[in-house]
Structure formats: C-alpha cells, structure tokens
Structure 1
Amino acid sequence: MLFLFAALVFLPAMQTRKLVVDNLVGDGTIDRRSILGQDQRARIEAQKPVEAYFKSIEKERNEPNALEAKLFRAGFYRASAPLIYMLCRLGAVAVGFLVMYTLLSRILPPQIPGFFAFAAASLIGLGCIVIPSIMLDRFENKQKQVYRRAFPDFMDMMITCADAGMSLEAAVERVSQELAGTHKWLGIQLSIMNLQLRAGKPLREALRELADRIGLDEAKALAVLFRQSEELGTSLTDALRVYSAEMRGQRILRAEERANALPVKMMIPLGLCIFPVVMMVVMLPVIIRMKGIFF
C-alpha cells in the first residue's frame, strides 16, 4: 500500500509542485527600489501561482503519460492497458504473498512465531511488484528489435520514392501501405504518422513523435536529419542515402559485437557442463588403474 501511495499520489503531487516552482522562477526587470515597482512585483507574485497552476494542468493534459507511452511502445494499444497493468502488479503482490506465506508456514518449525512468516511473505510479496515492470521492459525491448529490423527497409523505400520524384508526404503514405503486409507494427506507426500529416502537422514534428512512439535512436536521428536538411536546404535524397549506409554499418558492427562476445558467454556452460565430463573421461582410467595397483 505504501508503494501504491507513492506511485499514484505522492509522485504526481511532487511533479506538479516542481512544475509550479519552475514556472515561478525568474522575475522580470523591475526596479525594486521604487514604490511602483514594488506594487507591480507584488501583483506579479500574486498572479504567478494561479498562472503556474493552470499551465501545469495544461502541460499534464497535453503531454502523454509515461506509463501509457511505455505500454504503447511495448505494443499494448488499448485504452484499458494502464488499468490492466496496475491490476497485474497488484495480482503479482497478492500471489507472491500467498505463495511465500504457504511455503514458509510449512517449512518453518512450529517454535518460530507466525508473525515472522507473515512479515517475510509481505516483504517478498512487495518485491514481486517489480515483476510486471521487468516483463514490460522485455516486451518493449522485443518490440524495439522488431522496429529495428524493419527500419532499413523503410529507409530504402523512402530513398526509392524520393528518387522517383515523390514528395515526402506522398512517400510516407506509399511506404506505409507497402510495409503493412511485411512489417505490421512499423506499418501501423507509419499509418499514424500519415494521419498526422493529413491533419496538417509538419513533417519534422510527425517524425519526432514517431521517434517518441517507437523509442528508437535511429528514428530520432532521422528526425534530426530531416530538420537539419530542411533548415540548411541540402538534398534530402543524398542525406537519406548516406544515413541508410551508416545505419547498415551500425547493424554490422552490432552483429560483430555479439559474435565477439559469444566466446565469453560460452565459458559458463563449458565450465559447468563439459569440463567436468572431460575431467571424468581423462581421470577415471587413471583412478581405476591406481586402484588395481595400490588398493
């Protein structure tokens, strides 16, 4: 209950207070020595808490919730996903408490009072609250891998459409239709981006929100690339081609990094499983012969 109170009540209140304090910082250039300046400063100080409060509420309404954004990046798009996630955390706490209390009540001797088993089961049950968070992180990383595998194809198709003379908005619409069959999840994200472009949102803002939704560094770098190319007036096709080559080079480097880390990871199963068997095969005939000679 303390964890839930801190997560649902205390932390949002502290964040709201921080937003209000941040908005209160910084006075204008007012002459504090004059009576008019002191009066004006008093009015500003009286008005600032009200303005800061409404600004903080407006900011909280406009910005998406961190939990909802994390669930969206993990692939859970329903509106009831945050509620289900909180119920899963409560269920993990309850199941962990019941399981540990049952085990401890059977394992511990009867001389130990039951309060010790109850306290230990309560602590372990509260520790189980992190299990849904760990699973959510795993789902998010898995979804990022899906996006990362599909992103080079998206870049190649964007380059092809740009070389054909299509505008960027038309290229995004065409690529989202093509990727809907091969890469489902990235196609869904591009369809959302296409709807935002149709609603009148600028391309760089739509790309920035796409990068926030999928959580990829490649998408964030692409949004920065579009913005710099638009500000500097350079050729977008050449920039996309260079960035696509760099991204494929990074994929090769990540594959080489995993391949180089494989011998180190193989040392544990080799030492635990294969090395004892090899020692038994080598030393067993020597032990049998020594037994026949000396014993």
Structure 2
Amino acid sequence: MSLLGPGFLLSAAVFATAVLLFLVAGFLLTPVLQTRRQITEQLLAQGIKSRRSLEAQTELTRIAARRPVEAYFKAIEKENSQPDALEAKLFRAGFHQPSAPVVYIALRIGFVVIGFLAAYVVLSNLLPPRLPAFLTFGGSFLLGLGCIVIPSIALDRFENAQKQKYRRGFPDFMDMMLTCADAGMSLEAAVERVSSELAGTHKALGVQLAIMTLQMRAGKPLRDALRELADRIGIEEARSLAVLFRQSEELGTSLTEALRVYSDEMRTQRILRAEEKANALPVKMVLPLGLCVFPVVLMIVMLPVIIRMKGIFF
C-alpha cells in the first residue's frame, strides 16, 4: 500500500502526462516540418526564393486551400474500405491533419490514465483507511475508464459546430448561385465560381464546394455531387437542395426559378430560427437572473430598512 501512495501516484501522473505531451508534440510537429519542407521545395521549383514575397504568399494560400480537399479524398478512400473510419469523422469535425487520428487515440488513452490516477488520489484520501484496497483501485479504474468518452463527446461537439458553420453560410451560397444563374452561367460553372468566392468568408463550406467541383470535373453528375455534398455536411438544407435539383431535372422545370423559390424559403426559415431563439431567451435568463441579479437587488432594497431597524429595535 505504501508503494501506491498519493505521492507515488502523483509522480506517476506527472510522468505519464509528460510522456503523452511529448508523443503528441512529436506526432504534430513531424508532419508540420515535412509539409514545410515540401512547400519550400515547391516554391524553389517555381523560382520563388523568398517566402515573404507576394508570389510566395499567393502560392501558400493556394496550397493551404488544397490541403483539406486532399485530406478529404484520403479519408473517403479509407471510408469506402472501412465504413466507420475515424478519419472521415475527424474530417467532418474539421480536423484535416494526417496526424489527427493518432492524436485522438492518444488523447483517449491519456484521459483514461489521468482520470484513473486523479480518482485514485481523491478516493484514497476520502475513503476510510480500513476499507480494502481493491475497492479504491476498482472505483478508480471505473472512473478512469469512464473518462474515455470525453474526447468522443468533444469530437461530436466539434462536428455540430461545423454543421452550424455550414448552416450559416448556406443562404449566402444560395444567393450567389442565384446571381450566377441569372447572369447566364451554367450550374457547374456557378458552383465553381461560388466555391472560390466563399473560400474567404465561409472557409468550411468553401472547402466542401471545392470538393464538389472536383467531383463534377471528374464526370460526376450535378445531382449526385449535390447528394454527396449533403451527406458530407449533414444539414437539412443541403438535402432539400439535392432533392430540388433532382425533381427539377426529372420534371423539366426551370432551375433558376426553383433556386429563387428555395432561396426565399431559406431566408424565411432563418428568420423563424432567429425568432425561436429570441423567444427562448427569457426562459434561459431566469436562472442567471435569479442567482446573480435578484440577490443584489434584494440587498440594495433591504439594506436601508435593515439599517433603520437597527437604530430602532437593536
């Protein structure tokens, strides 16, 4: 029991954390250094010697925009062979680095180790010493094992945050598509132009549209590319747009008019969502008002009365 005291476990936790941080830093820095060397070689091959020149900055921006696209195609290849591939889920959550799966697995292991050691230190100090040691060890093991879900929950939150980014940028995408269609551009050319324009304002949606553009260049029909776009970003607006395009092609109706009607519906839905959040705000403000504001107001109101009663009664 003396060998597994709180001091020993604390030292073990510090050592395990240091090793974990060293491994994570190694997995993160090695791909970064390799990528930096490859970019330098590309710039030198094009005759650009300084990374600070305007040509170099333009080329670096272009390379940075291509990285998520290349990461997607690598992830989709693995997803075809493994339907529940971790790389595809990490890509949907916005992590495009090649070392992201290794870092994710290392974080899960690290949370288990740190949770176990922290729980053991706490339980050994709180529980009576007469209890058997295996109860403390077993409880710490269960609590540490429960910490394995923390990275999964964080990954789901990142994925939901990406969906919110897509949802905020989708109305702008529809407006720009409608403008390009009114100008006489084909829908394929409109998607390519809009994807380049949205890369600066809505980067996440611009990356997905760039992937869709490459798929259409490879010969995939527009409605199939839209359906896969809806599957990638996972929002209802994209699925409705894919269904709208398929029905317009099957029925022979005007796609421009369909886009205009759907764009108006999306604006109406955005207004309704804003009104829904505004109506829910008073209910959400009840708890902070009751805990923070109401005691202060009560103190300000009652303090003069208490001071006057002090002079009269006591």
TM-score (norm 2): 0.70
**Structure 1 residues 138 and 253, CA gap change in structure 2 (3 angstroms):** same
Structure 2: distance between partners of 1:170 and 1:270: 53
Question: Could you say which structure has the larger radius of gyration?
Answer: 1
- In structure 2, the partner of 1:172 is 191
- In structure 1, the partner of 2:208 is 189
Q: Confirm whether residue 81 of structure 1 aligns to residue 100 of structure 2.
A: yes
Instruction: Give percent identity, aligned residues only.
Output: 76
1:70 is aligned, of 89, 93, 102, to 89
Q: Confirm whether residue 94 of structure 1 aligns to residue 126 of structure 2.
A: no
Q: Confirm whether residue 283 of structure 1 aligns to residue 302 of structure 2.
A: yes
Partners of 1:189 and 1:210 within 8 A in 2: yes
1:248-274: CA deviations, max 9, x gaps? Answer: 111111111111111111111111111
Structure 2: distance between partners of 1:201 and 1:85: 33
Compute the displacement of 1:86 (Å). Answer: 2.5
SS in 2 for 1:126: helix
Structure 2: distance between partners of 1:265 and 1:178: 37
Partners of 1:69 and 1:213 within 8 A in 2: no
Structure 1: distance between partners of 2:87 and 2:289: 43
- In structure 2, the partner of 1:250 is 269
Runs of 4+ in 1 over 6 A off after TM superposition: none
Structure 1: distance between partners of 2:189 and 2:264: 23
Indicate the structure whose relative CO is greater, using CA pairs within 8 Å and at least 6 residues apart. Answer: 2
- In structure 1, the partner of 2:217 is 198
Compute the displacement of 1:66 (Å). Answer: 5.6
Compute the displacement of 1:171 (Å). Answer: 1.2
Q: Confirm whether residue 230 of structure 1 aligns to residue 223 of structure 2.
A: no
- In structure 2, the partner of 1:129 is 148
1:14-55: CA deviations, max 9, x gaps? Answer: xxxxxxxxxxxxxxxxxxxxxxxxxxxxxxxxxxxxxxxxxx
1:124-153: CA deviations, max 9, x gaps? Answer: 112111111111121112111211121111
1:140-169: CA deviations, max 9, x gaps? Answer: 121112111211111111111111222111
Structure 1: distance between partners of 2:213 and 2:230: 14
- In structure 2, the partner of 1:265 is 284
Structure 2: give runs of 5+ residues left out of the alignment: 1-78
Partners of 1:73 and 1:215 within 8 A in 2: no
What letter corresponds to residue 233 of structure 1 in structure 2?
G
Structure 2: distance between partners of 1:128 and 1:207: 38
1:228-255: CA deviations, max 9, x gaps? Answer: 1111111000100111111111111111
SS in 1 for 2:266: helix
Compute the displacement of 1:173 (Å). Answer: 1.2
Partners of 1:104 and 1:117 within 8 A in 2: yes
For structure 1, which segment, 199-208 or 83-92, has the greater mean C-alpha deviation from structure 2 after superposition? 83-92
Compute the displacement of 1:120 (Å). Answer: 1.6
For structure 1, which segment, 173-182 or 264-273, has the greater mean C-alpha deviation from structure 2 after superposition? 173-182
RMSD of aligned Cα (Å): 1.9
Q: How does 1:207-222 map to 2 (within 5 A)?
A: 207-222=226-241
Partners of 1:154 and 1:175 within 8 A in 2: yes
1:50-77: CA deviations, max 9, x gaps? Answer: xxxxxxxxxx845742643332211112
